[in-house]
Chains A and B, each alone.
Chain A
Amino acid sequence: MSTYAYYPGCSGLGTSREYDTSTRAVCRALGLTLADIPDWSCCGSTPAHTVDHTLSSALAARNLAQAEDLDASALITPCPSCLTNLKMAVHRMRDRDFRDRVNKLLDRPVRRDLPVKSVLQVLVEDVGPEELASRLPDKPLAGLKLAPYYGCIMNRPPEVMQFDDPEHPTAMDRLMLALGADVVPFPLKVECCGASFGVPRKDITARLSGKLLETAMDLGAHAMVTACPLCQMNLDLRQDQAASALGRKFQMPVFYYTQLMAVALRLPQNVIGLNKLCVSPHIAFAAMRKARAEAGRRDPSFSEEVA
């Protein structure tokens, strides 16, 4: 299989370390070769596009140029915010004037149109839930009930993101089902969590994230599963703030989908990083074991200590 140019994103070196390590490990286990983009830089994230679109695209596009040194079939990233900036840059640079303006800001202009995809897209399209399920005949996560939360920009706007359904995406659902887990019909899959307002306006983030947590809880989910570092932080680290905003109590573990894939694939504990999560994930695994016992299903053995 071909090589993918890998863009970890800044949070992958910090608050979403466990997303980065589990992503790399899952890709390796499933036979995908990742090559880090040499000396990659920040995509500009939300702040850059609120200042100017040429600046924002230039910050993202430097990475497209850096990736040209790798013989890669696509540039992939786990982070939806990086993804959206990179894809938006490619999309807007189809306009020649815009492309010229962006290239003028860059020491090294962008020459190739490398396809940009999320890691999720590659896992679903280039590996596939069927292949994944065939590797896991014992359905290791059977009994675990998950609320799949995609975040607002992984699939929107559809003209730019060109992957899955913009209102009701199912890519992550299908991967989780392949691990044996159950997914609840979560109606807020693409509703915003409050995004980057956690620091300057945490009242807003608390209310929006609270609505997501509340809905997941009311649907009987044992845990939420996300694909976005910012969503994960708002739902996990800020869970108590969300609970106070709504006057409720939550104890909802919030996983990265790659962590659950890594658990199911029995990858080493240090790359899964369950200990990096704030709300203890063991609550979810305990609920899973209970559901399995009630269904008369045997407990699988895991390399990660999920007890």
Chain B
Amino acid sequence: MDVIDIHASCDGDFIAAVEAESGQQIAECYQCGNCTAGCPFTFAFDIPVSQVMRLLQAGQKKRLLTCKSIWLCATCESCTTRCPNNIDVARIMDVLRHMARREGYASERGVKIFWDAFLDSVEKHGRSFELGILTTYIAKTGRFWPDMGLGPKILPKGKLGFRPHEIQGQKQIARIFDKFRQEQRS
């Protein structure tokens, strides 16, 4: 069990920011544990989701923004669907990783690289290009593709495209990303 000195480390601004960005009332969580009981990812999390909620109530910003769980949540919506107090827990997990990104934390680097590679592909082509995403992921992680064994299974199926599908409005998509980045800087 962890003991936290609330007086020394509770960040009230952080709690308020999470509430504002998620539209949820953090204090409404009464720690029933239903979210953790149903969360399929508890085995892989370093902090179970109900404890994420508790640490949030205690304003433990750094602990939460550097944890692995926020990167491993798949937004499967079990927690949100089953919360007896109607807290949108999955949305809070999303908001925590938005904040972690903005503060420069990524404790599951491979996950972030994969998601970034996906979005780069969308920004460049307007649609996601599966093979291109994989290539970027391999290049950026420096990992030889650990899924090499899947190649012989999927390649003969003729499903993986070797060229991206460029849309006509690709510039409109690039502008969505540009404007978003400008907004974030301002």
Contacts and interface: CB of A to CB of B under 8 A. Distances in A.
28 contacts: A39-B167, A41-B173, A42-B127, A42-B128, A44-B119, A45-B128, A47-B114, A48-B119, A51-B98, A51-B101, A52-B184, A55-B177, A59-B173, A104-B183, A105-B179, A105-B180, A105-B183, A153-B75, A153-B77, A167-B81, A199-B114, A200-B111, A201-B110, A202-B147, A203-B44, A276-B157, A276-B158, A278-B154
A14 B161 contact: yes
Contacts of A55: 176-177, 180
Nearest to B119: A47
Nearest to B131: A14
B62 interface: no
Interface residues of B, number: 59
Nearest to A55: B180
A45 to B, nearest CB: 7
B103 interface: no
B18 to A, nearest CB: 13
B78 interface: yes
Contacts of A47: 114-116, 118-119
Contact of B77 (A51, A59, A152, A276): A152
A41 B74 contact: no
B161 A237 contact: no
Nearest to A230: B74
B175 interface: yes
B63 to A, nearest CB: 20
Interface of B: 40-41, 43-44, 72, 74-78, 80-81, 88, 90, 94, 97-98, 101, 108, 110-111, 113-116, 118-119, 122, 126-130, 134, 137, 146-147, 149-150, 153-154, 157-161, 165, 167-169, 172-173, 175-177, 179-180, 183-184
A219 interface: no
A220 interface: no
Given A156-B81, A201-B44, A278-B154, A62 B176 contact: yes
